[in-house]
Chains A and B, each alone.
Chain A
Amino acid sequence: MLQQRTFRRGGIHPPDKKRLTSRQPITACANPPTAVIPFSQHLGAPANPLISKGDVVMAGQKIGESSGFISAHIHTPVGGEVKEITSIFIPAGFSVPAAVIAVDEESAFQEEPRSAQELDSLTPEEMHSRVQEAGVAGMGGAAFPAHVKFKIPKGKHAEYLIINGVECEPYLNADNRLMLEHAEELLIGTEWIRRMTGAGRVVIGIEANKPEALAVMREACGRLGFPFTLTKLKVQYPQGDEKQLIEAVTGREVPSGGLPIDIGAVVSNVGTTFAVYEALAKGKPLFERVVTVSGEAIKQPMNLRTAVGTPFRQLIEQAGGFSEEPMKIVAGGPMMGFAVYDLDTPVMKGTSGILALTKKQVNDAVQTACISCGRCVRACPMGLQPTRLYHLIDYGRYEDAKASYLLDCKECGCCSYSCPAKIHLVQGMRLGKRMLRNVSS
């Protein structure tokens, strides 16, 4: 067996909890009676609403227009009448405009399968515009608009295309299930992204705790005859973070403040790759995704194909409801996801999971004094010193924190997770960055 690749600095090993849902096939989540579709489901500027109260929309219709270079269109997965355009809180803590749609069950999206010849004749530019038109955004969590990422800037060259099948967040199996159930589509989607980016080499990275997905993907890759490399990666959080994945696969580091393309790499998540496939092969916009509903407080953990705009409540009910009282409901993975307080929060493009965690998993305890144990320093995959940064921020020395590389922190959570004093280090980093922004603006 080949040695498993990994990144060089830090990393942690939280219990992976994958077994709760790793063998649950993807099933469809019922549409809600009312869908709430935010106009900002991606990183960057919110989309401009194209509809207003009283309009009747069709499933798959574009309802929000991308409003800038880094932005994405919004499509509705359901048809029905627009009840109102309102403002809601999304898990990240922002208030965004959203369309409330009374769902008409009769309206269903009609796929438009494209012929193989048509697809083969598409130029990279045409593929780009179709991906952009489908509103594809990164589905690993950050929801960076995909067409921006796949557009290689002038003067840069994509040497590597890395498909991120790591899914290092505990509990989540959305990508794992996609690889098991849709390996061929994923590989075809990968090939199209390779054409879009002009990448020389394709590496598909899968964490070692998903041996079945690795085997299925390898078999499908051989069958379809793609020259892609499948790489088994060590189980270590945050292996699936773009920067760590690039380091593990290529040995290169994305320069501080730079982008992966600066060192010749483009990374696409498995979910995003599947969305690209569906957009190109079926003309299907990104309006649904696989969501892992899991956690110790969920009665029947499962993986649900869910329409964007479906409230969390609906998925939790479909998963049998709560088996015990949850302490936290998390949108996304437990390491970087957001705790929500409202079960009417809708699923968005980046919602990879809905987790109901109990007190035992949360392990929240009273914060005690830092004893300089250095665990955060050893855990930081960016090679920072979280304890030092935290102290500087605590004393209001934001510029000093910046000089100690505060802006290289990506809030992966390794430091807070490993802190025995239960200090909210990530929260401290966020505060520090916010204060720096306020000072400079």
Chain B
Amino acid sequence: MSEGKTLIVGSSPQIRDADTTAGIMWHVSIALIPAGIWGVYLFGLRSLLVILISIAAAAAAEYGIARMLKRQTLADGSAVLTGLLIGYNMPPLVPLYIPVAASFFAIAVVKWAFGGLGANWMNPALAGRAFVFFSWTTGMNAWQMPRTWAGIDGASSATPLGTVQTGLFDVAGEGGTALSYLESISYAASGWGSSLADWFSGTVGLNVSAHTADLFIGAVPGSIGEVSALLLILGGVYLLYKRIITWEIPVSFLVSFALLIWIFEGTLFSRGLFSGSVGFHLFSGGLILGAIFMATDMVTSPVTGRGMIIYGIGAGFLTFLIRLYGSLPEGVSLAIILMNIFVPIIDRYVQPKPYGFKKQKTGRNAA
């Protein structure tokens, strides 16, 4: 029978959703693009080179290893996404061999040594970043003045978070805040941040520091792709809308972190409990990038909603610990990596309750 030749048979279901793994990876990459464009605008074309080199190194590593194993995996998009995230996590003036080493480590050691996509237990991009962060400390602190500060005198090029961390030893016991410290050393604020802050105090009647406003729009020094909280949040909204990620991890991560900061951060400045600078910490450093784009990495996060919430709270708690009490200014990537270790345990103990195991009687008192 001629028409029979082309018919496909197979197990039900006979139709599948159009989403694919590669589609997910590309959607995440697309959601990251606005923040990247902003970073390149702030720090110049060299930062674009950093991003492109990170991607190229990750793709080359993926291609080479897959080829050795006689497989073809570049098209699944995961290596490009890893490279992109590594690029976003680099300071703008980083020597170019660093992102290459990070990408290679991420793909070869963190991902393929465990069996490739889906088998790695640690987020490759974050592990790559951690690897180079501890290997080349100076190179990984090559911050650059953002374009928005042009013409401002006394501009420092250290990140706000790093500045506060270093300065803490001077201000401890003075009853100030992270923001008042930045004011006191005349840490630069961009014109945009100042006018946004003015608008807030004028129109909304809310007192917002120009520095917080700067952090929110991303007019501060920092890693290339992490600076603009606003654009990263927009990317996150896109991913939620496309149902690529779910709300559990970002929300539990950010909310638990914000709560802990609000409760305890003031104690560093001898102000007592419940007086932390939530806005400053929420929009500083890599928190938004980490909570929306890195902690949500599907391979290295729990599969159940409840598990995701536990994981997010754990990451928020560890970020808080490292940021406030550790010696490093930033703790997001280490917090996420540490929580990656707990994922198998979370998935083991947090399992959905199946249908049909509810204790119930026949009759009236059921329902």
Chain A residues engaging chain B, CB cutoff 8 angstroms: 9, 12, 14, 156-157, 159, 170, 243, 247, 250-258, 262-264, 322, 325-330, 334-343, 355, 357, 361-365, 368-374, 377-378, 380-385, 387-388, 405, 408, 411, 413, 416-422, 424, 426-427, 430
A-B CB proximity, top 7 nearest: A413-B13, A374-B303, A369-B118, A427-B11, A256-B356, A363-B16, A373-B298
Q: Do A430 and B20 have beta carbons less than 8 Å apart?
A: no
29 inter-chain pairs at a CB distance below 8 angstroms, sorted by A residue, are: A14-B17, A159-B362, A251-B366, A252-B360, A253-B357, A256-B354, A258-B356, A327-B7, A329-B7, A335-B14, A340-B7, A362-B8, A362-B14, A362-B15, A362-B16, A364-B16, A368-B76, A369-B76, A371-B24, A371-B299, A374-B304, A383-B352, A383-B353, A405-B354, A413-B13, A416-B16, A417-B15, A421-B118, A424-B10
Complex contacts, A335 vs chain B, CB 8 Å: 12-15
Interface centre among A170, A343, A357, A416, by most B CB within 10 Å? Answer: A416
Q: B348-367 toward A: CB 8 Å interface, digit per residue (1/0)?
A: 00011111111010110011
**Assembly CA distance A12 to B363 (angstroms):** 31
Known: A328-B7, A371-B298, A372-B298. A264 touches B353 (CB 8 A): no
Complex contacts, A362 vs chain B, CB 8 Å: 8, 14-16
Which residue of chain B has the shortest Cβ distance to A382 in the bound complex? Answer: B355
- The majority secondary structure among interface residues of chain A is loop
**Assembly CA distance A250 to B358 (angstroms):** 14
Complex contacts, B116 vs chain A, CB 8 Å: 369
- CB contact between A357 and one of B15, B299, B366 (< 8 Å): that residue: B15
Interface presence of B69 (CB below 8 A): no
Interface presence of B9 (CB below 8 A): yes
- CB contact between B12 and one of A327, A411, A422 (< 8 Å): that residue: A411
**Assembly CA distance A327 to B14 (angstroms):** 10
**Assembly CA distance A257 to B356 (angstroms):** 8
**Assembly CA distance A408 to B357 (angstroms):** 10
Count A/B pairs, Cβ under 8 Å.
Answer: 195
Using A363-B17, A417-B15 as known contacts, list a sample of 6 further A-B pairs with CB atoms less than 8 Å apart, ordered by residue number in A: A258-B356, A326-B6, A336-B13, A355-B14, A362-B15, A420-B24
Complex contacts, B3 vs chain A, CB 8 Å: 322, 343
Known: A362-B15, A369-B117, A426-B11. A374 touches B367 (CB 8 A): no
Known: A371-B117, A382-B356, A422-B20. A339 touches B351 (CB 8 A): no
Q: Do A420 and B17 have beta carbons less than 8 Å apart?
A: yes
- The majority secondary structure among interface residues of chain B is loop
Known: A408-B356, A420-B24, A421-B21. A372 touches B15 (CB 8 A): no
**Assembly CA distance A260 to B298 (angstroms):** 37
* Distance between B83 CB and nearest chain A CB, rounded to angstroms: 17
- CB contact between B356 and one of A255, A334, A430 (< 8 Å): that residue: A255
* Distance between A192 CB and nearest chain B CB, rounded to angstroms: 24
Known: A335-B15, A343-B1, A357-B14. A327 touches B355 (CB 8 A): no
Which residue of chain A has the shortest Cβ distance to B354 in the bound complex? Answer: A383
**Assembly CA distance A426 to B116 (angstroms):** 24
Q: Do B16 and A159 have beta carbons less than 8 Å apart?
A: no
* Distance between A339 CB and nearest chain B CB, rounded to angstroms: 4
* Distance between B80 CB and nearest chain A CB, rounded to angstroms: 15
Q: Do A262 and B12 have beta carbons less than 8 Å apart?
A: no
* Distance between A381 CB and nearest chain B CB, rounded to angstroms: 7
Complex contacts, B308 vs chain A, CB 8 Å: 374
Known: A157-B362, A382-B355. A250 touches B367 (CB 8 A): yes
Known: A377-B304, A430-B11. A420 touches B351 (CB 8 A): no
Interface centre among B17, B19, B351, by most A CB within 10 Å? Answer: B17
Q: Do A334 and B366 have beta carbons less than 8 Å apart?
A: no
- CB contact between B354 and one of A262, A322, A382, A430 (< 8 Å): that residue: A382
Q: Do A253 and B358 have beta carbons less than 8 Å apart?
A: yes
Which residue of chain A has the shortest Cβ distance to B22 in the bound complex? Answer: A368
**Assembly CA distance A250 to B354 (angstroms):** 18
Q: Do A252 and B303 have beta carbons less than 8 Å apart?
A: no
Interface presence of B202 (CB below 8 A): no
Complex contacts, A250 vs chain B, CB 8 Å: 366-367
Which residue of chain A has the shortest Cβ distance to B244 in the bound complex? Answer: A373
Interface centre among B14, B78, B298, B352, by most A CB within 10 Å? Answer: B14
